[in-house]
Amino acid sequence: GNSVTQMEGPVTLSEEAFLTINCTYTATGYPSLFWYVQYPGEGLQLLLKATKADDKGSNKGFEATYRKETTSFHLEKGSVQVSDSAVYFCALLNTNAGKSTFGDGTTLTVKP
Amino acid sequence: NAGVMQNPRHLVRRRGQEARLRCSPMKGHSHVYWYRQLPEEGLKFMVYLQKENIIDESGMPKERFSAEFPKEGPSILRIQQVVRGDSAAYFCASSPLTQLGANVLTFGAGSRLTVL
């Protein structure tokens, strides 16, 4: 079956620090990969996506590259801000299934 | 263009009562998904529906839970005879009818159920 494993949190960083949140997946075929972000009290919002191997998704300074050889989709940002504090979810969508599979989420807290 | 609308945002029920959660998908979206987020846990898939049709309910508990997406009106997630373990945030998401593998989900703000 499909599964997503995320780096356990919580993660606490100082403003302007470098961020990496690891994500690895198990899936049959060629899934699309996503990062969603959830701010307190809100639903999830799409942050970025990649639909095939070696694609790089990017948005708001965040990046993730679809690595088929290591089945990974690690999220990175060069300089985090306090406003980036949120829960980040890695997800995959397989082409032969209608539903997305999510990781358990990683809570990021950025301190000024 | 309103996003995915869920109501109620907060619902309190006593054990044994029924909970009904409603979701109106984004305009133009024909697919609805329900996910549950238990405290300190990730999102778990429950059910995937199109209008008048359940596509995948592999994540739904076998008893007490049901979902529908009628031709007219919102999608409804119904939980009968609630127990404390049903306390969670229930998120609805919708997507358009597009090529599989590229369907980005648009989430609602969630309905937080508390069972006393």
What is the rounded distance in angstroms from the CA atom of residue B66 to the CA atom of residue B57?
Answer: 9
Dihedral over Cα of B2, B3, B4, B7: its sign: negative
Number of helical (H) and strand (E) elements in chain A, helices listed first: 0, 12
- Cβ atoms of A29 and B100 within 8 Å: the answer is no
In this prediction, residue B100 carries a pLDDT of 54
CA distances from B8 to A96, B22, B64, B78, B97 (A): 33, 7, 19, 13, 27
A99 near B CB under 8 A: yes
For A25-78, how does the pLDDT look when each residue is reduced to its tens digit (9 = 90+)? 999 878 999 999 999 888 899 999 999 999 999 999 999 999 999 999 999 999
Closest C-alpha to A35, from A98, A94, A103, A108: A103
CB contact under 8 A, A30 and B101: yes
Mean pLDDT across the stretch B57-75?
A: 94
Statement: residue B98 has pLDDT above 70: no
What stretch of H or E contains A44? strand A44-50
What is the rounded distance in angstroms from the CA atom of residue B49 to the CA atom of residue B71?
Answer: 12
Under DSSP, is residue A68 helix (H, G, I), strand (E, B) or coil? coil
- Cβ atoms of A45 and B26 within 8 Å: the answer is no
What is the rounded distance in angstroms from the CA atom of residue A90 to the CA atom of residue B13?
Answer: 32
CB contact under 8 A, A105 and B31: no
| Residues in A 34-93 with any Cβ partner in B closer than 8 A | 34, 36, 41-46, 49, 51, 89, 93
In this prediction, residue A9 carries a pLDDT of 83
Mean pLDDT across the stretch B39-57?
A: 89
Statement: residue B2 has pLDDT above 80: no
In angstroms, what separates the C-alpha of A59 from chain B's closest C-alpha? 15
CB contact under 8 A, B31 and A32: no
pLDDT band (50, 70, 90) for residue A80: very high
CB contact under 8 A, A94 and B4: no
